[in-house]
Structure 1
Amino acid sequence: MKRKFQFNLWTISSLVILLTYLLFLVYPIVNILKNAIFVKGQLSFSNFSTFFSKSYYSQTLVNSFKVSITATFFALVIGITLSYLFSMYAFKGKKLLQILIIIASMSAPFIGAYSWILLLGRSGVITKFLTQTLGFPKFDIYGFSGIVLVFSLQLFPLIFLYVTGAFSSIDNSILEAAESMGCTGIKRFFKVLIPLLVPTILAGALLVFMRAFSDFGTPMLIGEGYRTFPVLIYQQFISEVGGNSAFASSLAIIAIIIALIIFLAQKYASNKNSFSMSSLHPVEAKEIHGIKKVLVYLVMYGVVLVAMMPQFYLIYTSFMNTKGMVFVKGFSLNSYKEAFNRMGPAILNSIYIPAIALVVVIVFAIFISYLAVRQKNLVTSTIDILSMIPYIVPGTVMGIAFLISFNKGIFGSGLVAIAGTAMIIIVSLSVRRLPYTIRSSVASLMQIPISIEEAADNLGSSRLNTFIKITVPMMLSGIIAGAILSWITMLSELSTSILLYTVNTKTMPVAVYTEVIRGNYGIAAALSTILTALTVGSLLLFMKVTKSDTITM
């Protein structure tokens, strides 16, 4: 319902939010564009022509597309298959499996890359067993195949969570009708279920593609010469021989344009295939027996255990004695002692910085979702569009944008010169992770009839009182669901933080990355285990607060 733009509480809040986005999102992106197309004060597209004229640079873009498309394909195959088995069949251990799947997705991809190096690297445990004990030919995990493996196993849980949520909205009578017409098994899966899931699959595929396309840590650790676009941007901006910020900015603009095109294509395809469905009789999980039961258990537990194997081994190695890059015999807590002694501030930073950012995210998400749904006008629609931009812009790009914009303050005035402080990381986390909580809050609010608020108005309740005491409590489940996703992704954030951190603002993901690069595997394993523990604790707390045994998107 459209309302006239009136000067009241909602007008003030919408203007404050709009100004915040203009300062911390539009201004940095405009600065990147300015840095890319103005060379020595003159308008020039030489940086772009350099990129497209030299195969060394343009090949990195091709590499990123190859990796992202391949990883998205495998993530879709694995995620949809597991979601189908999970939703259609009854078997033991579903809650445990779901927690493990979520843990596999919520840890930083570069930690998975580091773990797979320990397992399948040239000196990895599995590599040594296969080559030295079983006589397999030498192989390694580095390069294209290694990056795809890490992304596929790390990102298929996102597809699983999206599609599992969509399965709950499918009416069982549709499947029964298809079965009565002789459409069963694989035929029913492709002819009936997949078409019903297309909008959800497209949404999940976009998220997986963008996560793979924008990831910086995994190619840096496991790529070994297989250059990808985020790594190129990082290297051009921070180079040992003097970074080229103008060229890095032009690469950032290319990344934004590509991300925007993919996002719009996904939106168009989703809208074209969208439909509404009332699930009066949700799909019921069927009991299975015999060989079918064995196969379901093998697939579900087999894939999840493979995906979790790096995490399990990482936890195991965190208790081993280490000497730099070598794990020696015996177990101890030395790695944890060193981690707390040397990286204590980083551990504290990884808790209090995301915690402050989460408060900002929750407050802004509540107001933005309400404005977008209940107070529709030009300003609120603009805010809603702006809120989704960080969802598609790679983290490395945002990091460069913040550094360029706030190193000397806005317009070089010294105002908001927050580079090098904890504030710049808090702002970057808030801006980048806000879309998760907004989308979840919007979905929750849209299910609340406006007649409830109108009834409160008729009984004499002010708009603010109704909003605080009635609307927000009814939105709480959506707010919490989005907040937990924002929180967990903040815990594992690397691509932006690696550019913005200082000695005093280093976080655990940055500490893990730097310790791996330095060869301090014991400390890196201990820090990674602490991150995993925080993730698991957050998920269990979420499930307890919401009194839910399942988590979907």
Structure 2
Amino acid sequence: MKINSQDPSDDRKNQPTLSAKHRKKQKRKIHLDIWSVSSSIIILAYILFLVYPVGSILKQAIYSPETGFSLGNFIAFFSKSYYSGTLINSFKVSIAATILALILGTSLAYLFAMYDFKGKKVLRILIIIASMSAPFIGAYSWILLLGRNGVITNFFSNLFGVTMPDIYGFNGIVLVFSLQLFPLIFLYVNGALRNIDNSILEAAESMGVTGFRRFIKIVLPLLMPTLLAGALLVFMRAFSDFGTPMLIGEGYRTFPVLIYTEFINEVGGDTAFASALAVVAIIIALSIFAGQRLIASRFSFSISSLHPIQIKQTKGWKKAFIYIICYGVVLVAVMPQIYLTYTSFQNTQGMVFQPGYSLNSYAEALNRMGDSILNTIRIPLFALVIVILFAMFISYLAVRRRNKLTSTIDSLSMIPYIVPGTVLGIAFLTSFNTGVAGSGMLAITGTMAILVISFAVRRLPYTIRSSVALLQNIPISIEEAALSLGSSQTNTFFKITVPMMLPGIVAGAILSWITMISELSTSILLYNLNTRTMTVAIYTEVLRGNYGIAAALGTLLSIFTVLSLLLFMKITKSDEISL
């Protein structure tokens, strides 16, 4: 045989080549570790469920088989004041709400940090609760209070003959947004103030800079990076909110409502035009995000807080002023939820409130909307499993395995944080209606899967950022010690790193959960009768005038939120949340 006739010297000649091949295979095996595999899976998931849907709406906006490539949809939008005016309206509302939220949130956080007064812990919990509820539920509650037949409206009309300004239009939208979103600024600033060293304030005071001057000259510049981050979040939340202007906007049209109505139209929506509007929204969101990052980088600095701010005792008019501001703002912020709960126990028949109290609204809500309540629990739970798994790996890759690929993953994970939910809803609906590229694969529109995936994609950033923040404080030497003792990378990650990351993962997961159960802008586009959630049910019941059922569902949703917050506080062993 040929193999027997081979010269032994040939084997020796071939040996170095075989060794080189062996080494090459070994090198390839080393690189195909858990991080390479996880990076590939994560980037594939983002390409499939973020890049592809966003790319699809971009394609629909600029290309059609009939006309080919065209910018006609964008030209139509900017050339007609009816359409472009909605964008201006959204900017007006968002800017006004952001300014008011900054004033209220920063003022309250400063008073909480600098001065001692009774009931601070209770007020802080109420602020947190107000921050976690869905904005459109606040809008609905304000309709009950300041609507044309609202309680406060009727009270002033009957008692004083005064006609109160109603809740509808620009002023109402700004009021609801400001009261719903100022807690986010409070949470950001509250965390930042804990990092300011008291010696800085004492030095300013020794130089005669006190009171309001000290706040403007010293504290405000130190808070600037935090204020910019909070302002971005508030602006994007206001700019992308769909439910509030839909309920109380009436003639005041905003951009998210225009996108929704153009896509879901009674006489047949214009998908291409709606896609063009979605692309405009994405460009605006990314531009604002990039601008905020650029400005924030110029204010970036680090502070070592060796001496926390010392809380002062107050007397006289200053103490009265602090009580009036803190209690007044917080009570106004939570008043809609309090009245919503009260309304849920009233005896109502549709839009008519009957004398007396009953549990009929709850009974009817459970009877008619039982599936919605169940969906509100199970759909976010399924999404939460995905969020936790992906957040564990993405946060580790972003902190410990930084390279071009993991940096790309980290950047992609932030896109859903700023892109309006209505836009992602349209992207998912159009992309997966007939499957990927019309192949029938992943034709999940109308199923529970599309809601689970959309919730996970949208709310994943909360858990990632929380996990990253904690992981950055864990010394890498702990993992290196485990590896030096013979532990594998996989074993070290799951048995050493993940347990240390767990508080951050769980805290972020609970915040993701809270935002998922109050999600409306995406689910309103993706739901069907079998996958309707409580937020969708509340919204539809308000439109139908079934206020009792809507109030009962809203109260149940608030209870879910409060229980989630209590769980968060128990796990983090803290009575406050800072962003």
Tell me the TM-score range normalised by the shorter chain.
over 0.9
List alignment gaps of at least 5 residues for structure 2: 1-27
Deviation at 1:138?
A: 4.9
Q: Which residue of 2 aligns with 1:27?
A: 52
Residues 40-49 or 207-216, more deviating = 40-49
Deviation at 1:513?
A: 0.1
Find the residue that maps to 1:158 and give its secondary structure: helix
Q: Does structure 1 residue 183 correspond to structure 2 residue 231?
A: no
Q: Deviations over 1:360-418 (max 9, x none)?
A: 11111110000011111121111011000101110000000000100111011111111
Q: Does structure 1 residue 93 correspond to structure 2 residue 130?
A: no
From 262, 272, 279, give the equivalent of 1:253.
Answer: 279
Give 1:268-417 correspondences, 5 Å limit.
268-417=294-443
Q: Does structure 1 residue 543 correspond to structure 2 residue 569?
A: yes
Deviation at 1:134?
A: 1.2
Find the residue that maps to 1:284 and give its secondary structure: coil
Q: Which residue of 1 aligns with 2:40?
A: 15
CA distance in 1, matches of 2:165, 2:299: 44
TM-score by length of 2: 0.94
Pick the structure with greater CA Rg: 2
From 210, 220, 227, give the equivalent of 2:246.
Answer: 220
From 31, 37, 45, give the equivalent of 1:6.
Answer: 31
Kindly indicate whether the alpha-carbon contact (under 8 Å) linking 2:153 and 2:163 is maintained by their aligned counterparts in 1. no
Q: Which residue of 2 aligns with 1:192?
A: 218
Q: Which residue of 2 aligns with 1:174?
A: 200
Q: Deviations over 1:119-171 (max 9, x none)?
A: 00000000011122112135311000000000000000000000000011111
From 16, 38, 41, give the equivalent of 2:63.
Answer: 38
Q: Does structure 1 residue 447 correspond to structure 2 residue 473?
A: yes
CA distance in 1, matches of 2:478, 2:450: 40
Give 1:131-146 correspondences, 5 Å limit.
131-146=157-172
Find the residue that maps to 1:329 and give its secondary structure: strand
Deviation at 1:496?
A: 0.3
Q: Does structure 1 residue 207 correspond to structure 2 residue 230?
A: no
Give the residue type in structure 2 aligned to 1:43. F
Q: Deviations over 1:418-459 (max 9, x none)?
A: 100111000000000001111111111111111111111112
Q: Which residue of 2 aligns with 1:492?
A: 518
Give the residue type in structure 1 aligned to 2:536. V
CA distance in 2, matches of 1:145, 1:328: 31
Give the residue type in structure 2 aligned to 1:31. S
From 235, 241, 253, give the equivalent of 2:267.
Answer: 241
Deviation at 1:25?
A: 0.2
Q: Which residue of 2 aligns with 1:266?
A: 292
Q: Deviations over 1:483-503 (max 9, x none)?
A: 121111001000000000000
Kindly indicate whether the alpha-carbon contact (under 8 Å) linking 2:125 and 2:575 is maintained by their aligned counterparts in 1. no
Q: Which residue of 2 aligns with 1:80?
A: 106
Residues 247-256 or 375-384, more deviating = 375-384
Q: Which residue of 1 aligns with 2:504?
A: 478
TM-score by length of 1: 0.98
Q: Which residue of 1 aligns with 2:4?
A: none
Q: Which residue of 1 aligns with 2:482?
A: 456
Deviation at 1:41?
A: 5.3
CA distance in 2, matches of 1:6, 1:300: 57
Kindly indicate whether the alpha-carbon contact (under 8 Å) linking 2:181 and 2:234 is maintained by their aligned counterparts in 1. yes
Find the residue that maps to 1:154 and give its secondary structure: helix
From 132, 145, 148, give the equivalent of 2:174.
Answer: 148
Give the residue type in structure 2 aligned to 1:276. S
Give the residue type in structure 2 aligned to 1:78. L
Find the residue that maps to 2:549 and give its secondary structure: helix
Find the residue that maps to 1:552 and give its secondary structure: coil
Find the residue that maps to 1:266 and give its secondary structure: helix
Residues 374-383 or 18-27, more deviating = 374-383
Runs of 4+ in 1 over 4 A off after TM superposition: none
CA distance in 2, matches of 1:28, 1:130: 51
Residues 458-467 or 273-282, more deviating = 458-467
Kindly indicate whether the alpha-carbon contact (under 8 Å) linking 2:520 and 2:535 is maintained by their aligned counterparts in 1. yes
Give the residue type in structure 2 aligned to 1:117. I
Q: Does structure 1 residue 508 correspond to structure 2 residue 526?
A: no
Q: Deviations over 1:218-270 (max 9, x none)?
A: 00000011000000000000000110000000000000000011000000011
Residues 90-99 or 386-395, more deviating = 90-99
Q: Does structure 1 residue 431 correspond to structure 2 residue 462?
A: no
Deviation at 1:6?
A: 2.6
Find the residue that maps to 2:31 and give its secondary structure: coil
Q: Which residue of 1 aligns with 2:186?
A: 160
Give the residue type in structure 2 aligned to 1:245. T
CA distance in 2, matches of 1:306, 1:138: 17
